[in-house]
């Protein structure tokens, strides 16, 4: 059965009830989550003002899912960093970066599933490591665009041994910390690959 081209319209009433105009039934956030998982597109409008409130309803769905035991997808460090980006000069970059990252993850999810199934087998983490390395490189390139005087550029120059390294710009400590964590993760992946190969 072909999916409709137009998204289903959901209306939210003052009593917080959600009404699916496609099926002429009231629905819950759980029902909307099931629609998302099934690939059904919908938009949510405030019944009184006709304002598009899809973003806030999707956020509520995520909140509900995160509150279920064993359903946590968003690490605390990620949530804290995300909050820090609100009002920051990097805020305009974050939505696009997250979209690209989640698109990559979606495209690679089949490979991820295969690799996780084989994680304890003979084949090791080769393709999984490649995906992680590509994502890490993309992340580093993205932040390098907004930190032109970061450590990478300082290393490209040939400072005298007595010269003190440049201090990172405000917020650079967080980026350096993130880079160090990513480097540590890469070293762990390399060790796993060597152990598997040897």
Per-residue pLDDT of the chain (198 residues; tens, 9 = 90+): 455 578 999 999 988 899 999 999 999 999 999 999 999 999 999 999 999 999 999 999 999 988 887 778 888 998 999 899 999 888 888 899 889 888 888 888 877 677 777 765 544 455 556 666 677 777 666 666 655 544 444 445 445 445 444 444 445 677 777 778 778 877 877 777 676 555
Q: Do 113 and 147 fall into the same domain? A: yes
What local confidence, expressed as pLDDT, does residue 150 receive?
45
Q: What is the pLDDT of residue 55?
A: 95
The phi-psi region of residue 70 (left if phi > 0; otherwise alpha if psi is between -120 and 50; otherwise beta) is left
Q: Sheet holding 42-46: strands in order across?
A: 25-27, 18-20, 8-12, 42-46
Domain boundary among 22, 42, 66: 66
Same domain, 91 and 138: yes
**pLDDT for the residue 7:** 93
Q: CB neighbours of 30 closer than 8 A, spacing ≥ 6?
A: 64
pTM above 0.75, yes or no: no
The predicted structure's pLDDT at residue 50: 95
Residue 35: inside a domain:
yes
Number of other residues whose CB lies within 10 A of the CB of residue 9:
13
Does 41 lie in the same domain as 100?
Answer: no
Contact 135, 101 (CB under 8 A): yes
Same domain for 24 and 104, yes or no, is: no
Which residue's structure tokens are 């000069």? 89
Is 1 inside any structural domain? no
Domain membership of residue 3 (yes or no) is: no
pLDDT, position 54: 96
- Do residues 19 and 57 both lie within one domain? yes
Q: Which of 22, 39, 66 is the last residue of a domain?
A: 66
Phi, psi of 12 (to 5 degrees): -110, 125
Residue 157's pLDDT is 47
Residue 122 lies in a domain: yes
pLDDT at 59: 94
The total domain count for the chain is: 2
**44 lies in the same domain as 134:** no
**Where in the sequence is the domain holding 23, given as residue range(s)?**
8-66
Whether residues 20 and 110 fall in one domain: no
Strand partners, 27: 18
127 plus 182 within the same structural domain: yes
Rounded Cα–Cα distance for residues 111 and 15 (Å): 44
Q: For residues 83 and 16, state if they share a domain.
A: no
Q: Residue 55 domain-assigned?
A: yes
> Is residue 89 in a domain?
yes
66, 84, 114: which is the final residue of a domain? 66
Domain for residue 25, yes or no? yes
Whether 20 is in a domain gets the answer yes
Same domain, 124 and 52: no
| Whole-Å CA distances, 117 to 105, 110, 124, 195 | 17, 11, 10, 18
Q: Are residues 127 and 183 in the same domain?
A: yes
């Amino acid at each position: 059965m072909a999916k409709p081209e137009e998204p289903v319209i959901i209306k939210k009433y003052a009593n917080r009830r959600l009404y699916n105009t496609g099926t002429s039934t009231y629905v819950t956030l759980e029902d909307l989550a099931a629609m998302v998982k099934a690939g059904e597109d919908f938009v949510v409008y405030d019944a009184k003002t006709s304002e598009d409130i899809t973003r806030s309803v999707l956020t509520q769905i995520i909140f509900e899912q995160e509150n279920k035991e064993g359903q946590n997808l968003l690490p605390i460090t990620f949530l804290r960093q995300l909050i820090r980006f609100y009002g920051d000069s990097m805020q305009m970059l974050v939505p696009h970066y997250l979209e690209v990252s989640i698109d990559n993850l979606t495209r690679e999810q089949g490979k991820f599933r295969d690799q996780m199934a084989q994680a304890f087998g003979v084949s090791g983490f080769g393709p999984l490591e490649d995906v992680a390395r590509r994502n890490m490189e993309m992340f580093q390139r993205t932040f390098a665009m907004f930190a032109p005087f970061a450590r990478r550029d300082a290393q490209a120059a040939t400072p005298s041994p007595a010269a003190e390294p440049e201090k990172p710009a405000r917020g650079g400590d967080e980026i350096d910390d993130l880079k160090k964590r990513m480097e540590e993760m890469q070293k762990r992946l390399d060790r796993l690959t060597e152990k598997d190969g040897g």
